[in-house]
Structure 1
Amino acid sequence: MKVCGDPNNLPFSNDRREGFENALAELVAGELGKDLHYTWWAQRRGFIRNTLKAGLCDVVMGVPTDYDPVATTAPYYRSAYVFVSRVDRGLDISSLSDVRLDTLKIGVHLVGDDGMNTPPAHALSARGLVSNVIGYTIYGDYAQASPALRLVEAVEKGEIDIAAVWGPLAGYVAKRASVPLRIEFIDGTHAFAPLQFAFDISMGVRKGDDALKRRLDDIIFRRSADIRALLERYGVPVVRKDQP
């Protein structure tokens, strides 16, 4: 089983196979009766073009379910953007419209300067919150371990008051943090439509590889309890399909 993954992107994957997508790949390979082989590639722009479409692998373990460049399996989890703060700060903030955000240092991930930033970054900008929003590039310094985690670690260290971040990143750091962290799903997001804050996540295969897609769908269905337990072990916050 040939998988393409990022060698430095916990909690999803790394080249020491410590991420939950690595664990899922092991489960899937076992079900298929295959040895697991990786091609490592930084998961940035061009990742799918240079890996799956180039024939270097047959499966990418985590893509949005409606991601058009690939054929996607049934979703195996659904997560959302969250607010994360230190418990000792007493910030029970869950809404982007909460007036307390006006006076807090808010961390967000930035992807680029061409409109491809994260939904919370766009929403906070639409609210006029610019001067107190601090951007952390999601790609970060790739020489560091799993650079996307720096945003949540900044909350842990007290460098910022609160962060709006993709749920699996927050949950993973919270499981290992030196101080308790509070995680709240971001609500009240309808006011910022058509921005989406919750996403189904699937495995991706090349378009036309229907046989492999069917086999993966079957594994996702049959091993759903084991997959849920795996996600819980990594602190991945999961939302229901009917949640926005």
Structure 2
Amino acid sequence: MPALACRALTWAAGLVMLASAAAAQTSDLVSKTAFRVCADPANAPMSVEDGSGYENALAELIAGKLELPVEYTWFPMATGFIRQTLRANRCDVVMGYAQGHELVLNTNHYMTSVYVLILPEDTGLEGVTRLSDPALKGKRIGVIAGSPPATHMARNGLIGKAKPYNLMVDRRVESPTEDMLNDLEAGEIDAAILWGPIGGPLVKQDHPGMTVVPLIAEELPPRLFFRITMGVRLGDKVWQRKLNSLIRRHQDEINAILTEAGVPLVADMGDRMLDAEK
């Protein structure tokens, strides 16, 4: 065999060995004794330190399939969350993370959901399905400042009378989403717009008389639907593939937990509701 070919084979074999070593190294960071989750301790209805959130239930489901106990590192979901938790190797997964975020390696998405319009009873807004509906003109609508629906509200002339609520807060001391729904119940605002995986469950738990309308009819950007994944450390491909397999094989059980919680589930393109019975 020519010397050049020998060197090429040696170089290729070395690359394979380096890749295998890197894969083994990243997977070695993942705990073998617990399903280590980093989560916000006061992010109801998703993650709660007492274990009552639906993301807690999802963590228990995945841990059960791995035959491991769940072990939490609690940290407020604010600036520095990933750096102080996942990147610091204090955990191996963040349960709910929007697809495409550069701070983590995303698994395959386990749900797609959408922003919702929440309406109280007997307000004359029955039948409203989009933010361009003339019935919303002149109404005071609660919205999280800086969230995608605010752009749609501005386009449709609804922002002038809107009541903004803070986006980045420490949920241990402030809860804009619950404040918004309480204001809606008290008549301080006429309607509320929230991220569906937050608004849907909160209405189901504490405000059953209200109507939750998924905003799937909006056609202009920005999009109001997002695919939600589990986030793992950058480079943890072995761990990512293992979680992808669990998500694929247990999607029906995942959907059942989300549906029971009141999360509105939509098709991957955000244009129709999923049939909860399928």
TM-score, structure 1 length as denominator? Answer: 0.90
Q: Percentage identity across aligned positions?
A: 38
2:254 aligns with one of 227, 230, 240: 227
Q: CA-to-partner distance for each residue in 1:92-134, whole Å, 9 max, x for gaps? A: 2221211222211100012xxxxxx101112212334333100
The residue number in structure 1 matching 2:274 is none
Matched, 1:104 2:139: yes
Cα distance in 2, alignment partners of residues 224 and 6 from structure 1: 24
Partner of 2:68 in structure 1? 34
Instruction: Between 41-50 and 121-130, report the one with greater CA deviation.
Output: 121-130
User: 2 CA distance for matches of 1:66 and 1:209?
Assistant: 15
What CA deviation, in whole Å up to 9, does each residue of 1:69-105 have, x standing for no partner?
1111111110001111113224122212112222111
What is the 5 A alignment of 1:1-244? Answer: 1-91=35-125, 92-110=127-145, 117-140=146-169, 142-144=171-173, 146-191=175-220, 193=221, 195-244=222-271
Contact 1:108 1:134 in 2 (8 A): yes
Which moved further from structure 2: 117-126 or 152-161? 152-161
Unaligned stretches of 5+ residues in structure 1:
111-116
Larger deviation, residues 180-189 vs 52-61: 180-189
For the 8 Å contact 1:156–1:177, the answer to whether it is kept is no
Query: How many aligned positions are there?
Result: 236
User: In structure 1, the residue corresponding to 2:219 is in which secondary structure?
Assistant: helix
Distance 1:212 1:42, change over 3 A: same
Distance 1:88 1:127, change over 3 A: closer
* Contact kept? 1:139, 1:147, Cα under 8 Å: no
* Higher radius of gyration, 1 or 2: 2
Q: Which shows bigger deviation, 134-143 or 166-175?
A: 134-143
For 1:151 and 1:9, locate their aligned partners in 2 and report how far apart those are by CA, in whole Å.
Answer: 15
| Shift, 1:7, TM fit | 0.3
Deviation beyond 4 Å, 4+ runs, structure 1? 143-147
Give the deviation of 1:178 after TM superposition: 4.5
Bigger relative CO (Cα 8 Å, ≥ 6 apart):
1
Q: Distance in 1 between matches of 2:261 and 2:133?
A: 29
CA contact (8 A) 2:105 2:234 kept: yes
TM-score (ref. length: structure 2):
0.79
